[in-house]
Structure formats: structure tokens, C-alpha cells
Homo-oligomer: A and B are copies of this chain.
Amino acid sequence: MRILVTNDDGIFSKGIIQLAKSMSRIGQVVVAAPDEERSAIGHAITLHKPLRIEPVKLPDVDVEAYSINGTPADCVKIGVDVIMKRKVDLVISGINRGPNLGTDVIYSGTVSAAIEGCILNIPSVAISLVSYKSDDFSYAGEVAVEVAQKLLEHGLPEGVLLNVNVPAVPKGEIKGIKVVRLGIRRYAETYIKRLDPRGKPYYWLTGEAIDATQEDMQLDTDIAAVNQNYVAITPIHLDLTFYSLMDTVTGWFKGQ
């Protein structure tokens, strides 16, 4: 089994090294990941400049690894096409430092890499550790292996991938796995205005996720699940069509 491992935190981040190690237990791993952090990059693809593929040696794990001067989606495209010559059985992206929950998956570089794998018709998984502080990715690595094995055993419909979030608590405190829908994450966001040394204004995005309310916690969402120390798995798909509104909108334009 040939596994492409990527991420958006950059190729030397601890999460991807753990992921490469863990996935090596079940297949031949090739790492192709961004040369530096590419968070909140969404599903960007590099069209207007050339990409470079630099072989690198990762610490603590003996796998083929390449640093790419592109986005996570670029890494999957070039990893599948050029590096692995289209012989890829699984794309797995992570382990991200920090959650990719709810509406945030739209911004997520980690998830965008798995989406690109899915577009290329390869079974794909995104996996994140729900903490910006923890350095212990070992249990999340175990989850990655388990989810990958189940996925490869059962398969997924075309255009569907899995998004996995692992609470950053000791393994003994994990309550189990929940398959849940994406929740809604709210941010208290705003731009800070400052003056540069020449007196010209500039703006910098600031903001943090607003804690989920008690009400949010009653819902069957990924956000609630990780808050209750469950591993959250959400099947997500590429078809953004909102089918249930199609007849309504058709009605708007009737009789013209």
C-alpha cells in the first residue's frame, strides 16, 4: 500500500513526522509537504509560478520525503502526479496542530489537501489534534492508522473524504469515536488598525473562536464531540449544491 502524507503546518512539524511514523506501520509512506506553514490557505493551487521538489531527510523516521514550495493542495497534486507517478492508495493530511472543526474546514489547508486527494479519486483523510499547545501526537497517530484501515476495508463513495479531530487529552480519557456533522464555529473577529513608521495605516486580522454555548454542546456536531472527549469523524463531500433549495429558486424566475 502506497500512502501520500502531507499537511499545512510544514514538512518539519511534529504532527507530520508522527503521521509518517504511524502510517509506516501499514504501508509505504511518501511525504510531500509545504516547505513552510500554509495555514488558512483554503484550497489554493499555484498556477503562476513554478514548483520545486526538494528531497529532505526527516528526523526520527525513515521515509521518502520532499519539501515543496507550494500549498497543501499543490503538494497532493505534484505528489500524486510527479513523485508517486499516480500510484497512490491513500492520501492523509496532518496531524494538524489545532482543530479543523465546523465551518473552519472551508479555510483549512489540512482539509484542502485531503479534498485534492478526493478530487483525484484517491481515498483521503484529514486529521487534526484539537490543541495548539500539545506536542503529543502519538494517540492521534494511532487514530490515523485505525481510520485509514477502516476506510481501506470499507471504501468511500466517489467525492467523499473523512475529516478527523482528536481531543488533546490522555488516551485513557478518550470516550470513543463519534461520527458527527460539522458544527458552526463563530469567531469574534476584527481588524486592528495601526500606523506604519511612515504614518500610513495598515490592518491586521485578529480574533478567536467564541466558546461553544451550552446549547451548541447539546448538538450532534464535531465541535460538541471533541469537547466531550470523543474523536470526531465527519464524512465530507465535494458537492456544495444545496439541493433542497433548487425548486424554490426555480420558482423565483418562473413566468419571465
Interface residues of A (CB under 8 A from B): 39-47, 50-53, 71, 73-74, 77-78, 81-82, 103, 105-107, 112, 115, 119, 150, 153-154, 156-157, 159-160, 162, 176-177, 179-182, 184, 189-191, 193-194, 200-205, 233-243, 245-250, 252-253, 256
Cross-chain contact A115 with B119 (CB below 8 angstroms): no
Kindly identify which residue among B190, B235, B245, B256 contacts A245, using a CB–CB cutoff of 8 Å: B235
Cross-chain contact B82 with A239 (CB below 8 angstroms): no
> Please, how many angstroms separate the alpha-carbon atoms of A103 and B158 in the complex?
13
> Please, how many angstroms separate the alpha-carbon atoms of A104 and B109 in the complex?
17
Q: In whole Å, how far is A43's beta carbon from the nearest beta carbon of chain B? A: 3
Grouping DSSP codes into helix (H, G, I), strand (E, B) and loop, the A interface class, with mixed when no group exceeds half, is mixed
Cross-chain contact B44 with A44 (CB below 8 angstroms): yes
Sample 15 A-B pairs with CB under 8 A, ordered by A number: A40-B46, A42-B73, A50-B202, A51-B191, A82-B193, A105-B240, A154-B248, A179-B247, A179-B249, A181-B239, A181-B241, A181-B243, A233-B253, A235-B245, A240-B240
